[in-house]
Amino acid sequence: MNHRAMAAAVFALVLSLAPALKPGVGSRAQAAKPDGPAVAFVNVSVVPMDSNRVLERQTVIVRGQRVAELGPAFRVEVPEGAQRIEGRGRYLMPGLAEMHAHLPGQQAGEDAARYVFLLYLANGVTTVRGMLGQPWHLDLRRRVASGELLGPRIYAAGPAFSGNTVTSVEQAERLVAEQKQAGYDHLKVHSGLAREVYDAIAAKASQLGIPFAGHVSVHVGLQRALEAGQASIEHLDSYLQALEADDSPIRNADAQTRQQQLVRYLDERKIRTVAEATRKARVWNAPTLFLWQTFLSAETPEQLAQRFEVRYALPQWRSAWERQRQSMLRNLAPEEDRRRIVQVRNQLVRALRDTGAKLLLASDSPQLYNVPGFSLHREMAAMVAAGLSPYQVLEAGTRNPAEFLKSADFGTIAVGKEADLILLEADPLRDVGNVASRAGVMVRGRWFTQSELNQQVETLLRKLSGD
């Protein structure tokens, strides 16, 4: 089963349609400048995400876009005229980051972009790393940062470097320089790159100081990607190839045979070794476990459409997903092979965790029945099922993204940080599912109740659906 080709086809189709769906998990922070009174979360339990702890009975004061005070409720005085938000029995945590997303293309229209952003925010996502870009995304990033457009904090990739689009060293070096000059935050490397072209991208990116991240081409391989300093690897790309047994009978087989049978010739004893190599190379991973579980399942379009969040998909999304799924089912690998892939991917994630290699929370939204915002909650559940603790999963979606993106502005709750916050009705460190029980979301100091965000989503959905 050609999972690489399958994934490429999925997001090539979806990118052109990128509208959005309902509130479930959220997105990035809005840069509006709140000029009103201070906001006080009173007597709340704070999950600061600087370690695995809860600070009980705290008051958090937000002024403008930042946290101004944080301390025991009996000590912190609520400013006169402040908006008071009751925190008793509730938990305040940092906003989430979706570290592999595909932002709407300009052809989808501004309302579609606004809708996707609302979906993220309504689901507690206040930062988004776009992984397949275009110039319009730079404008969206600017408008969100200025407060002109409500949305999550955006980190934008440029157009992808793939084997189909970049075919020479000279072209690779030129495009790296152009994307750096244009102001993209990072480069996206895709599949099919020749080794010499990949090496040229890596060298030029290092020279100019711009990170590159994404897929690992079969011509490159995991070892070279680690050596080259690729910032992050998406989907555990090429890790299964790195686990191939030394005595594998298909080592020199044709590409199709290797794609179909590789999973039968893996040596699990190599898992610890590749995880340790990843840690030493300081390369991060965005596993997208849940999406791959969908790819590898035998669920029909009718079954997948029963997911609650699909009701927030626009008609063109649903029809595209249905076609994609029908095509996948015609080429479905044997059940035993599919089950084995899921098992090994989970083992890899645990090994990366155990060796200290860093993980990022990512769902590749919007992908096959992978609704923006909602998909990040499903990814959190998949990571827990793979063996990570709730804290480790939340860390992958809060403080880890801030560290990866080299930002001191978000990821934890502390005085001076930007106020990207989620107010929950239950403790997320006990169950990551509690992140879905939101009382509201604060986006760079602007407070929205969950009902307000939900209503905005519903209103724009009706407009985009022509209702």
Whether 324 maps to a domain, the answer reads yes
| CB 232 within 8 Å of CB 284 | yes
Closest CA to 297 of 364, 236, 369: 369
- Rounded Cα distance between 263 and 260, Å, is 8
Distance CA 457, CA 467 (A): 14
- Domains: count for the chain: 1
Do 225 and 283 meet the contact criterion of CB atoms below 8 Å apart? yes
Residue 423 falls inside a structural domain: no
pTM: 0.91
Specify if 106 maps to a domain. Answer: yes
pLDDT in tens, the chain (467 residues): 444 443 333 333 333 333 333 333 333 333 445 567 899 999 999 999 999 999 999 999 999 999 999 999 999 999 999 999 999 999 999 999 999 999 999 999 999 999 999 999 999 999 999 999 999 999 999 999 999 999 999 999 999 999 999 999 999 999 999 999 999 999 999 999 999 999 999 999 999 999 999 999 999 999 999 999 999 999 999 999 999 999 999 999 999 999 999 999 999 999 999 999 999 999 999 999 999 999 999 999 999 999 999 998 877 888 999 999 999 999 999 999 999 999 999 999 999 999 999 999 999 999 899 999 999 999 999 999 999 999 999 999 999 999 999 999 999 999 999 999 999 999 999 999 999 999 999 999 999 999 999 999 999 999 998 87
Which residue, among 236, 246, 173, has the nearest Cα to 210 in the 3D structure? 173
At residue 466, the pLDDT reads: 83
Q: φ and ψ at 94, to 5 degrees?
A: -65, 155
In a domain, residue 150? The reply is yes
Residue 418 lies inside a defined structural domain of this protein: no
CATH, residue 137: 3.20.20.140
How far apart are the C-alpha atoms of 146 and 168, rounded to whole Å? 38
Domain annotation covers residue 462: no
Range of the domain at 150: 3-27+97-411
User: What was the pLDDT predicted at 409?
Assistant: 96
Task: Look at residue 270 and tell me if it is in a domain.
Answer: yes
In a domain, 387, yes or no: yes
Contact 83, 38 (CB under 8 A): yes
pLDDT of residue 4: 40
Burial class, 404, CB count within 10 angstroms (exposed 0-12 / middle 13-18 / buried 19+): buried
